[in-house]
Structure 1
Amino acid sequence: MQMMNENDFLRLVDAGGSAASPGPSPQAVADAFDGARLTQARHLASLTKKELAEAIGVSPAAVGQYEAGVTRPRPDLIPRIAEVLSVPLPFFIHGRPHGKLDGSMAHFRSLRSTRVHQRAKAVAFVEQVWELTFALEKRIQLPYVDLPGFAGGEVQSGSVLPRDPVDAAKALREYWGLGLGPISHLVRHMESRGIIVIFSKDDEDSVTVDAFSTSSLPRPIVVLTPNRFDDVYRHRFTAAHELGHLVLHGDAAAGDMRQEREADAFAAEFLTPRDSILPDLPIRADLRRLAELRQVWGVSVDSLLYRCRELGLLSDSAASRAYQRLAALRGQPGFNSEPITGFPGENPVLLSEAFDLAVNHTDLTLRSLARELAWPISRVRELIGIADNRPALRLVP
């Protein structure tokens, strides 16, 4: 089969099947079928090969052959596959950009509790985030990726930060000109440096995955789950943790618990530098004082307690007793969770503002972008962060 480019893809999408069914015909889709797109859609739908096979009336081996490109599905199967996976028919056509990843290219915050199918779904989500970014970047200029060592999906060995997580955190603070005090608007800082930050879909799989990141695509991408705890302090630490992965582990395969510990150490030093936070910390477990400090430094009381123990201000037994007292104070003023929505600088806006800019300066529309990506419009809305404000019709039986 002759390989198509993006223009060929769009011509085929626009070719039309019939007056009753506009768009490419099932035969046209079958002739240009991309097995990798089937894999991506299946992962996004959280279906196994067996489950998809049962839904469309073929064997699991046949699905495997479709995905491997050994055979193509019959034209009469194409509409059913698209229906089961909730994608338009053109989704499966070869020719448009595809940022392919595998599980070893993404670092997962909740490594031990994340199952294989959840990682596969998360990776497919990141692939689509990159495809959306690529489509927008053809029209408008996004911030330059200003991350030491990163060069369009590859790590430049001559310009990486120190390998030690504490030293790396100090070096990145200096490189970004952040000084030695508290960092406000962490997510906005990351976006201004060209890092794509996005909230994951609010579903059970995403909540389990928690957060993840990759530096294996032309732009570094960080995915955060806003509703697992809906606490801005934990959210900021998680964002800093993923930033640690980007600067420390861009050239290493993911899946190592040592890397998770290093990312935690990076986040702690990046958000609360030892030399700056040490004079502020109490020499005993004064929870009220730590509650005041969380407002200043933007990290949780739990993190500050851990920092006190880590810096030798508290013994393990004293810290353990403090955590027990802290558990009894949950929900009280100073110890309650603060929703992320109340902190605009910690909410990602890069993709939504890029879309708005492209709409205002080019002929881009939501519908044309969905056509180009071969996604449902609802999917484009979801990734850009556009709320569907249409009134919902409800029928009472």
Structure 2
Amino acid sequence: MINFIGSNLRLIRLFHGLSLADLGERVSVSKQFLSRIENGAESVTDSLECALVAELNVLPDFFYHVDPNPIADEQCHFRRQLTTKVVLRQEARARGEILKRLVGVLDEHVELPKYQVAEADPSFAESIERATEKFRSTFGLGLGPLSNVTRIAENAGAAVMKVRGLACEIDAISFATKRPIIALNDTDRSACRERFGIAHELGHFSLHIGILTGDRLTEAQANHFASALLMPRTTFVRECPLAIRGSRLNWPGLSELKLRWGVSKAAILFRGKQLGAFSDEQVRAGYIGLHRHGEAIQESEDRLMISEEPEVIVDGLKVMRDHFGIPTAAIAREMRVQPGLLDSLLPLPLIARTENILAFRR
């Protein structure tokens, strides 16, 4: 008989953003007692289990289910600020973990795209450049601007979804599991920032298999992959002169490049310098100008750009409902959670679109 699994309690507690003290107060036990339960040093009474089920929006089986595919630290990647607090990273990981379980249920019922991101060596800049060129070639993307990075990631086999509850410091979290997961922050982010974040996570999937990430080196490598994927060197470098007038930056030209390539002006400056198209002085002046005009995070053209919407998970849920007669409530039961927990994870309405319905298993 499987005993109460304390790590499952910790997972769902962090999912809800609760400290031991917070949860202890809600179920009338001490934080020390809850800590011992999570560490396997205390058993759980029936009355306490009922209180935890009600408070944490799960089914009793949730606490007794052994995950057959636990996530190792080196499989978890954050698109975040390096100074993000540990507890916020833990809460984000817990939300990504529950999303992974949802995708696992979908994978059992619908035919999701095959995963096709090739592994590459992160040690050299040239190998990163070639990895992005191979990626574009594999999917027939050419060397121009990418119209929809989210759809490209989904076609490559990643499950992408905007989720609620990620800290503002975290743009995305991804899991390099058998079915890779990219969980995006659902709070207002510019389309450019979201596109770069997805490309960044694809970089981790390609470059950092079995490598613990989060340090400056691995983040820089993933950023290089994202830059090269979004702005391929052979074509983008030829357009960089549009952003130069004489020896100075041409801001209207920089804005035109942004709208054409779907990347931020800051990313254009970085990539242009990387390719030798902009001087250090021009890039420095550009960064100063962005800060001076209040565009360090949100740029003026962002309002003109439409955010990309993930499709695979939403359409997969619709296939399950319409073709298999499996409603979202039944999916929640397979995940051993209550339907309300999915409402707290995924933006609503959950199943609002009908285009691009996935092929399903007969």
Q: Is 1:115 equivalent to 2:85 in the alignment?
A: yes
Displacement of 1:179: 1.5
**Any idea what SS the aligned residue of 1:199 has?**
strand
Deviations 1:211-269 (A, max 9, x none): 12120x221111222425x2111211111111111100122012321000011111111
**Any idea what SS the aligned residue of 1:233 has?**
helix
Displacement of 1:188: 0.4
Q: Does 113-122 or 369-378 show the bigger shift?
A: 369-378
Q: Is 1:377 equivalent to 2:339 in the alignment?
A: yes
Q: Is 1:338 equivalent to 2:303 in the alignment?
A: yes
Matched letter for residue 252 of structure 2: R
Displacement of 1:112: 1.6
1:101 pairs, out of 71, 82, 86, with 71
Q: Is 1:292 equivalent to 2:256 in the alignment?
A: yes
Matched letter for residue 105 of structure 1: Q
| Gap runs ≥5 in structure 1 | 4-31, 149-159, 390-397
Q: Contact 1:195–1:222 (CA<8 Å) still a contact in 2?
A: yes
Cα–Cα, structure 1 residues 47 and 381, in superposed 2: closer, same or farther, change >3 Å?
closer
Displacement of 1:367: 2.1
**Any idea what SS the aligned residue of 1:207 has?**
coil
How many residues align? The count is 339
Matched letter for residue 24 of structure 2: A
**Any idea what SS the aligned residue of 2:302 has?**
coil
Cα–Cα, structure 1 residues 388 and 72, in superposed 2: closer, same or farther, change >3 Å?
same
Q: Contact 1:211–1:223 (CA<8 Å) still a contact in 2?
A: yes
Partner of 1:166: 129
Q: Is 1:196 equivalent to 2:159 in the alignment?
A: yes
Partner of 1:237: 196
Q: Scaled by the length of structure 1, what TM-score is found?
A: 0.78
* Structure ranking higher on relative contact order (CA contacts 8 Å, 6+ apart): 2
2:328 pairs, out of 336, 360, 366, with 366
Displacement of 1:300: 1.3
Q: Is 1:356 equivalent to 2:318 in the alignment?
A: yes
Q: In terms of Rg, which structure is larger?
A: 1
Partner of 2:174: 213
Displacement of 1:113: 2.5
Q: Is 1:247 equivalent to 2:206 in the alignment?
A: yes
| Gap runs ≥5 in structure 2 | 352-362
How many Å separate the matches in 1 of 2:347 and 2:313?
8
How many Å separate the matches in 1 of 2:318 and 2:26?
39
**Any idea what SS the aligned residue of 1:338 has?**
helix
How many Å separate the matches in 2 of 1:81 and 1:95?
15
Matched letter for residue 153 of structure 2: M
Q: Does 59-68 or 249-258 show the bigger shift?
A: 59-68
Q: Is 1:186 equivalent to 2:149 in the alignment?
A: yes
Q: Contact 1:237–1:299 (CA<8 Å) still a contact in 2?
A: yes
Q: Contact 2:254–2:265 (CA<8 Å) still a contact in 1?
A: yes
How many Å separate the matches in 2 of 1:386 and 1:51?
27
How many Å separate the matches in 2 of 1:43 and 1:214?
17
How many Å separate the matches in 1 of 2:98 and 2:314?
15
How many Å separate the matches in 2 of 1:221 and 1:388?
18
Matched letter for residue 301 of structure 1: K
